[in-house]
Structure 1
Amino acid sequence: MRAVIFDEFGARPEVRDVPEPVPPPGGAVVRVEATGLCRSDWHGWQGHDPGIRLPHVPGHEYAGVVVAVGPGVHRWRPGDRVTAPFVCACGQCPACLAGDQQVCERQTQPGFTHWGSFAEQVAVRDADVNLVRLPDELDYPAAAALGCRFATAFRAVVSQGRVAAGEWVAVHGCGGVGLSAVMIAAACGARVVAVDVAPGALELARRCGATVCLDGSALGPDAVSAAVREAAGGGAHLSLDALGSHATCRASIEGLRRRGRHVQVGLLPAAEGHPALPMDLVIAYELELRGSHGMPAHAYPELLRLVTAGVLRPAELVTSTIGLAEVPAALAAMAGPAPGGMRLIRPH
């Protein structure tokens, strides 16, 4: 099969013929009909994830059709239309047994722990735990957006952030996960302040329901939190760092009102050091700081119900579609500011 592969971290990936995956015991192989290009893939290519072994095929949010299953799989058969969360759980550890598969102690992640979905096929381990059946009315591009960014944003806003109608929600960074968070928060009845440095991303945020859009490049990093507090009438009730940088993490916390809630969604690579957080403010305002790491497969039905009902519209976040040959250049371009929205890959 054809796949995007790199032999060294940071070296330009290539499209090459590689062996097709074989379904492991309890696992499945999925023909990839659409897969997303995510900033997490860029971090992996740069060597920021210690679990990646070279050579490597990236890609972790995808939708497609089951083409083969391994021994021990009971719920799936070839021809089933599926997606999967980017965290594939073992289903047996204490975290999984508690229903928290997104923090599985023995998790695997296509595109990180093993070869991913920038290919014509991808292997999924523990298929009975991790595959999600797609409604017939949901097409593959929209479904591919759910595996990482949209599902991550949904859980970050709804479960971890506990958003309520009428609250102010600040979203720092309007890439795929940030725009998803804007759309989800607005659909929940919240008023959203969207922050980004790219005019195109802010325009997309406005279309997704943002009440206020702030240009971070015009304000400067030190003025962003003050602008959020002013726009939100004293500060956001809930704020998300959807980008993952020291500046956006700090601005997200400093833009909260008293007893506000910060959710860290964007990755903060250890290679860049630990951010200096305003813990004096956390104490004085009794702020709540939480992380959010994807969403377990068993939680997808609620999200799929809202998508098929038209309440949430992940397909509107897809701004471009490319083939495998265009992935190396697109991955390299992610070193700069993202243009906003989601870019999908159609491998076939």
Structure 2
Amino acid sequence: MTFRASVLDRAGGTFDVREFERPEVPRDGALIRVEYTGVCATDLHIMLGHIPGYEYPSTLGHEVCGVVEEVGADFGGDVRGVPVSAGARVAVMPATPCGHCTACKAGSRYPDCENWDVVGFSNPDARPAGGGWGQYVLVNRRARLFVSEAPAVNVVLAEPASTPVEGLIRAGFRFGDSVLVQGTGTVGLLAIAAAAFGGASTVAAIGGPARRLEIARELGASTTVDIAGMRDPEARKAAVMAASPNGRGFDHVIECAGVPSTIPEGLGYLTRGGCYVELGHFSDVGPVEINPYHHILSRDARLVSSSGYTPDSFARAMTLVERLGDKARDLVTHVLPLERVGDAVSALQPANGWTLDGVEVGKIVIDPWKA
């Protein structure tokens, strides 16, 4: 029996759909029939060759939601102790440390594992069912799965939601804190939802365009500022600060835009002792100039970042996206087949205006069974 998967041949290359033999399921493995897999800016950087040392060819797709088709007798349960059985819908946490190398044994919350097992960045010749842009994903006993009864459109958002959830945890976010989010892409919108769900007293957002700002308000932002409609920095600062508690700034500012100029501006929105959370710069898009005294020390500011997440934050993100209910459908704008993976990734490039098929891009997902 065969299955289909999309393969990127090289940096700057093309995506082609290839057929592979469906793998046998070992006693400690599980075979997942992929339902949806998200398209992420990381996938764009891999296509463009921006990740040093990345090996091609590759089957991408790390935001995986699917249904367990077959499970080995020794696989066990999910991260939360729920049994993993055939027919269960699961989200896949893509990166799993080995637990045995020096970095893992050191017990850091953020291990720098020497032997990561990663779904969504796989050479199909060595691991044909290793990425979510294929009809099946085979995982081993190390894999971190999360069983959910929520619809697939919600569950596929668990991985991108994990980054802002982890960022808020690292920032020390508490019930009643105020939050400003810079950027209203998928991660920014999920940051708004996470802050509101966690009990923020005030949530504000800077971003655009209009449709995304409407979703931001639906997810909990009480104030939204359209970056395109308020280009003057002083006017924008006045509007944003007016939305903060007593006009004194925000406890947490979360950068999700990936634009260097947002950083000094965002630091200026912090209240004294506030925390700036950097999530948006997943690639090198250039330096930014800040004044250490003005932006950081004089404010007693804290800076944290997150390039990943833990099983704990993934589990909390799963709770978040399950609670989104029908609002999850507002975030997903396109569901595309494997043959259109290249179109999906290219739509994320600024030169293409973040539109696809005449529709503004939100979260694009791949349905590998879609004709």
TM-score grouping bracket, smaller chain normalisation: 0.7 to 0.9
Aligned-residue offset at 1:162:
2.5
- The residue that corresponds to 1:82 in the other structure is 90
Bigger Cα Rg = 2
Counterpart CA distance in 1 for 2:348 and 2:321 is 28
**Do the aligned partners of residues 275 and 119 (structure 1) sit closer, same or farther apart at CA in structure 2, a change above 3 Å counting?**
farther
- The residue that corresponds to 2:231 in the other structure is 220
- Aligned mate of 1:112, from 112, 116, 121: 121
**Do the aligned partners of residues 312 and 82 (structure 1) sit closer, same or farther apart at CA in structure 2, a change above 3 Å counting?**
same
Aligned-residue offset at 1:60:
0.7
Aligned-residue offset at 1:282:
1.1
- The residue that corresponds to 1:167 in the other structure is 177
Alignment root-mean-square deviation, CA: 3.1
* Cα pair 2:162 2:313 within 8 Å, conserved: no
- The residue that corresponds to 2:344 in the other structure is 330
SS of 1:16's equivalent in the other structure is: strand
Counterpart CA distance in 1 for 2:71 and 2:299 is 52
Task: Give aligned pairs, total.
Answer: 342
Uncovered stretches (5+) of structure 2, i.e. residues with no partner: 78-83, 124-129, 355-359
**Do the aligned partners of residues 110 and 166 (structure 1) sit closer, same or farther apart at CA in structure 2, a change above 3 Å counting?**
same
- Aligned mate of 2:156, from 141, 144, 164: 144
Counterpart CA distance in 1 for 2:349 and 2:111 is 27
Counterpart CA distance in 2 for 1:181 and 1:56 is 30
Aligned-residue offset at 1:83:
1.6
- Aligned mate of 1:16, from 15, 18, 24: 18
Counterpart CA distance in 2 for 1:101 and 1:312 is 33
Between Structure 1 and Structure 2, the one with more helix by share is 1
SS of 2:121's equivalent in the other structure is: coil
- The residue that corresponds to 2:80 in the other structure is none
* Cα pair 1:6 1:54 within 8 Å, conserved: yes
**Do the aligned partners of residues 312 and 294 (structure 1) sit closer, same or farther apart at CA in structure 2, a change above 3 Å counting?**
farther
Aligned-residue offset at 1:70:
7.6
- The residue that corresponds to 2:99 in the other structure is 91
Counterpart CA distance in 2 for 1:312 and 1:234 is 35
Structure 1 residues 197-222: Cα deviation after superposition (integer angstroms, max 9, x where no partner): 42221121111111111111233384
State the TM-score, normalizing by the size of structure 2: 0.80
* Cα pair 1:3 1:16 within 8 Å, conserved: yes
SS of 2:118's equivalent in the other structure is: coil
Alignment of 1:1-348 (within 5 A): 1-20=3-22, 28-67=30-69, 73-75=75-77, 79-93=87-101, 96=104, 98=107, 100=109, 104-112=113-121, 114=123, 115-124=130-139, 127-135=140-148, 137-146=149-158, 148-157=159-168, 159-190=169-200, 191-220=202-231, 222-223=233-234, 224-225=236-237, 227-232=239-244, 233-270=247-284, 272-280=285-293, 281-305=295-319, 307-308=321-322, 314-336=328-350, 338=354, 339=360, 341-348=362-369
Structure 1 residues 182-201: Cα deviation after superposition (integer angstroms, max 9, x where no partner): 11111222211111142221
Question: What is the percent sequence identity of the aligned residues?
Answer: 29
* Cα pair 2:8 2:56 within 8 Å, conserved: yes
Uncovered stretches (5+) of structure 1, i.e. residues with no partner: none
Aligned-residue offset at 1:131:
2.4
Between Structure 1 and Structure 2, the one with more strand by share is 2
Counterpart CA distance in 1 for 2:304 and 2:212 is 25
* Cα pair 1:229 1:256 within 8 Å, conserved: no
* Cα pair 1:91 1:129 within 8 Å, conserved: no
Structure 1 residues 115-136: Cα deviation after superposition (integer angstroms, max 9, x where no partner): 5211112243xx444322313x
* Cα pair 1:238 1:256 within 8 Å, conserved: yes
State the TM-score, normalizing by the size of structure 1: 0.84
